[in-house]
Homo-oligomer: A and B are copies of this chain.
């Protein structure tokens, strides 16, 4: 929909608009209002270049886009019937619970083994463990490849599939070679399209699942879903959308919790939504409330940081990780709220 700056365009201006949309296989339809005439673009308006050409004209106020920039991720796509499965859970049919450490301590593997057992005992179906970590401060510990062995050993001991963040192609291939089941893309790389494409290609023929964190800024929903389209366009549709709080933060939290975006994501895309309350709020005492709120909003899963002994952890764990006992209570209550919502007519709650 083209909104000109003036109420009526000249013939020459309309001709110019017609010529531009014509180049892209579209045509114009004027909407003649009492005061103002605007122009609908009929055809596939998704080419950004066409939009940029029109918005570059000095008599155009703005172009309102009607179509979404993604095809496969759209709720109306053929892919919408796809069900993502991991750890014995079919997303949508049961609450997916991912839990584990922000950062594995390569010098003290036993902490992670204990955490893994606690995570399983609390009812989580996927084990999270950070091998490499993005850090604001370049001189802080950034993770260690040795932790990959510890992660896979914990997977063997517990039987749980594992989730690890990859920050570049080198990590990606090491993680896949080791057998990591779920690849996590962090908030800082959420719009790193080279990495998204590399992951899409690498897992095209595998059943690996990707947990795509939302970018750290309060960007538009379409941008978030379009990032998932980068991965899925290579053929593997196992992607989970993960809100994790945006910046600037709510005064007192690490970020501004954004689990409330869940119903909006579900209206636009079929992809399951798995919320990370740990990064949203950034302190263990606040995490359970945020986790329960996410389920109240209709999240299909949770991704929570936990540690056998948080104060002995490294990375964000001393601050954010739940103890095994609190994790267990939280997951149990989350399941109760999930059940409460499921028993409710859709009209009331979505």
Within 8 A of B (CB), among A84-128: none
Looking across the interface, which residue of chain B has its beta carbon closest to that of A166?
Answer: B194
Contact B64 A248 (CB under 8 A): no
Q: Please give, as numbers and ranges, the residues of chain B lying within 8 Å of A290 by CB-CB distance.
A: 260, 297
Which residues does chain B contribute within 8 Å of A252, judged by CB atoms? 221, 261, 264, 267
User: Are B134's CB and A53's CB within 8 A?
Assistant: no
> In the complex, which residue of chain B has the Cβ closest to the Cβ of A186?
B191
Given contacts A46-B137, A64-B64, A233-B138, contact A219 B218 (CB under 8 A): no
Instruction: Check if A69 sits within 8 Å of B137, measured CB to CB.
Output: yes
Interface residues of A in 310-335 (CB under 8 A from B): 310-311, 314-320, 325-326, 329-330, 333
Q: Is A81's beta carbon under 8 Å from chain B?
A: no
Count, chain A residues at interface, CB 8 A: 126
Given A33-B40, A134-B193, A337-B340, residue A217 in contact with residue B247 (CB < 8 A): yes
A 1-24 to B, binary, CB cutoff 8 A, 1 in contact else 0: 101010100000000000000000
Q: A189 is contacted by which of B31, B192, B216, B314 (Cβ under 8 Å)? A: B192
Q: Which of B58, B285, B292 contacts A285 (CB 8 A)?
A: B58
A326 to B, closest residue via Cβ? B348
CA distance A217 to B286 in the complex (A): 23
Chain A 26-44 per-residue mask, 1 if CB under 8 angstroms from chain B, else 0? 0001011111101010111
5 nearest A-B pairs in the assembled complex, by CB-CB distance:
A217-B217, A168-B194, A188-B191, A292-B296, A293-B293
A-B contact pairs, 8 of them (CB 8 A): A34-B43, A53-B311, A138-B226, A170-B194, A215-B216, A259-B293, A329-B348, A330-B348
